[in-house]
């Protein structure tokens, strides 16, 4: 069961960033770098098992989710097992790595908790959601960049710059996922389209669409405020969102995030490593799967 999602594929975004950030130092091929890459991927995989239980998702990476195949108990225990293995590996990297991993895990869980509660009265829904994204996604990707820079032998200045870069790129990655959840078909994304919509989970395009005061959006607002477990209502709201200007607004926001992330790369000298990290951010902003 623990290898179920690993075998299903995936982008390996987090370990890739560890390896890429390590190139900013003088020992990018160290054993610690490889171990750190394994740590972040196992942590991510563990969180997916738990996320799919909470979201009641049917598909992940084009495969049937673990809880759909084996039940919630098995899926949760598998996630717990992967978290424990990532912790064992982190211990090999020393006490400071353990501290960073513990702080990251705290942010992951806090982000998940924050997602389950509505914004406070008077709180901006978008700001609330961005806090969720920073915790659930940005935190581990920031740690991926930090681990790569640190164990690759980069300077402290470069490590801090890449950590900031990773936080923003990580959030942009999730926001682009939000767009794909609505815009893509299941054979493109490997997920059931509109899963978050069906579960009533707010995402970037939905929040932006709800902020519209256009009277023509009355039907969309009505649907978004109601039960979307009905297949016909779900299909209708997906169709309306795909045509809505909020989709382009969301895409523009993600591009702006990628641009902001690249500004932190000025701490690195011009060269192939910096160029690769810039391209990495651009791919996040423009990805289609």
**Class of the 166-288 domain?**
mainly alpha
Other Cβ atoms closer than 10 A to 74: 16
The pLDDT of residue 78: 83
3-state percent breakdown (helix, strand, coil) of the chain, nearest 5 = 75, 0, 25
Nearest to 12 by CA among 55, 48, 52, 58: 48
| pLDDT greater than 70 at residue 230 | yes
Return the axis-axis angle of helices 272-286 and 156-183, rounded to nearest 10°: 20
Token readout for 143 is 């740690």
* Least trusted range by pLDDT, from 33-47, 69-83, 113-127, 206-220: 69-83
Query: Is the CA virtual torsion 206, 210, 214, 219 positive or negative?
Result: positive
Task: State pLDDT tens for residues 89-140.
Answer: 999 999 999 999 999 999 999 999 998 898 999 999 999 999 999 999 999 9
Q: If DSSP codes are grouped into helix, strand and coil, which group holds residue 209?
A: helix
Nearest-angstrom CA–CA distance, 35 and 91: 10
pLDDT mean over 33-53: 88
Report the percentage of the chain scoring pLDDT > 90: 70
Reported as a pLDDT band with limits 50, 70 and 90, residue 7 is: very low
pLDDT value for 261: 98
Where does the chain hold its CATH 1.10.600.10 domain(s)?
A: 1-154, 166-288
Asked if residue 19 has pLDDT above 60, the reply is yes
**Among 97, 67, 101, which Cα is nearest to 84's?**
101
Q: At the fourth CATH level, which superfamily is domain 1-154? A: Farnesyl Diphosphate Synthase (1.10.600.10)
pLDDT band at 56 (very low <50, low <70, confident <90, very high): low
Residue 38 has pLDDT above 70, yes or no: yes
- Over the chain, what is the mean pLDDT? 89
Residue 53 has pLDDT above 50, yes or no: yes
The string of pLDDT tens digits covering residues 172-225 is 999 999 999 999 875 555 567 888 888 888 899 999 999 998 999 999 999 999
How wide is the angle at C-alpha 184 spanned by C-alphas 43 and 192, nearest 5°?
60
Instruction: Read off the pLDDT band of 11 (50, 70, 90).
Output: confident
Please give the Cα distance from 251 to 224 (Å, whole number).
20
pLDDT value at residue 8: 45
Say if residue 20's pLDDT is above 90.
yes
Could you give the CA distance from residue 284 to residue 261 in angstroms, rounded to a whole number?
Answer: 11
Residue 74 clears pLDDT 80, i.e. is over it: no
Mean pLDDT lowest among 144-158, 187-201, 204-218, 266-280:
187-201
Cα atoms found within 13 Å of the Cα of residue 26, Cβ hemisphere only: 2
The stretch 233-247 carries a mean pLDDT of: 95
Cα gap 48→284, rounded to integer Å: 19
Average pLDDT on 244-256 reads 97
């Amino acid at each position: 069961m623990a290898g179920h999602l690993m075998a299903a594929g995936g982008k390996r975004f987090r370990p890739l960033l560890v390896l890429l950030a390590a190139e900013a130092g003088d020992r990018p091929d160290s054993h610690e770098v490889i171990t750190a890459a394994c740590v972040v991927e196992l942590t991510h995989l563990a969180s997916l098992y738990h996320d799919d239980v909470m979201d009641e998702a049917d598909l992940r990476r084009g495969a049937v989710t673990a809880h759909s195949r084996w039940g919630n108990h098995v899926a949760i225990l598998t996630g717990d097992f992967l978290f424990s293995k990532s912790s064992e590996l982190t211990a090999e990297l020393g006490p400071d790595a353990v501290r960073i991993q513990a702080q990251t895990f705290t942010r992951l869980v806090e982000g998940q908790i924050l997602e389950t509660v509505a914004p406070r009265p008077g709180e901006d829904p978008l700001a609330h959601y961005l806090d969720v994204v920073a915790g659930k996604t940005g935190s581990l990707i920031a740690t991926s960049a930090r681990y790569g820079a640190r164990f690759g032998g980069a300077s402290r200045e470069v490590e801090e710059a890449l950590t900031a870069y990773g936080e923003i790129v990580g959030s942009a990655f999730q926001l682009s996922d939000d767009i794909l959840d609505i815009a893509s078909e299941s054979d493109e994304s490997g997920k059931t389209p509109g899963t978050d919509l069906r579960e009533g989970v707010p995402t970037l395009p939905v929040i932006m669409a709800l902020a519209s005061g256009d009277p023509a959006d009355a039907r969309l607002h009505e649907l978004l405020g109601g039960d979307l477990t009905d297949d016909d209502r779900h299909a209708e709201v997906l169709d309306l969102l795909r045509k809505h200007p909020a989709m382009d607004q969301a895409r523009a926001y993600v591009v702006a995030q990628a641009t902001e992330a690249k500004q932190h790369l000025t701490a690195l000298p011009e060269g192939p490593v910096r160029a690769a990290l810039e391209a990495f951010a651009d791919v996040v902003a423009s990805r289609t799967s």
